[in-house]
Chains A and B, each alone.
Chain A
Amino acid sequence: GEDVEQSLFLSVREGDSSVINCTYTDSSSTYLYWYKQEPGAGLQLLTYIFSNMDMKQDQRLTVLLNKKDKHLSLRIADTQTGDSAIYFCAETPRLNYGGATNKLIFGTGTLLAVQP
Chain B
Amino acid sequence: DGGITQSPKYLFRKEGQNVTLSCEQNLNHDAMYWYRQDPGQGLRLIYYSQIVNDFQKGDIAEGYSVSREKKESFPLTVTSAQKNPTAFYLCASSGDTDTQYFGPGTRLTVL
- Which bracket fits the contact residues of A? 20 to 34
Contact residues, B35-52 vs A (CB, 8 A): 40-43, 45, 48, 50
Of B6, B48, B58, B90, the residue contacting A43 (CB under 8 A) is B90
> How does the 8 Å CB contact mask read for A33-54 relative to B, with 1 for contact and 0 for none?
1010000111111001000000
Contact, CB under 8 Å: A45 / B98: no
How distant is A56 from chain B, measured CB to nearest CB, in Å?
14
How distant is A90 from chain B, measured CB to nearest CB, in Å?
8
Q: Give chain B's interface residues, CB within 8 Å of chain A.
A: 4, 6, 31, 40-43, 45, 48, 50, 58, 90, 92, 94, 98-105, 107
A43-B43, A104-B43 given; 6 more Cβ-contact pairs under 8 Å: A35-B102, A42-B90, A42-B105, A102-B98, A102-B100, A104-B45
- Sorted from nearest, which 3 A-B pairs have the closest CB atoms? A106-B42, A43-B102, A42-B102
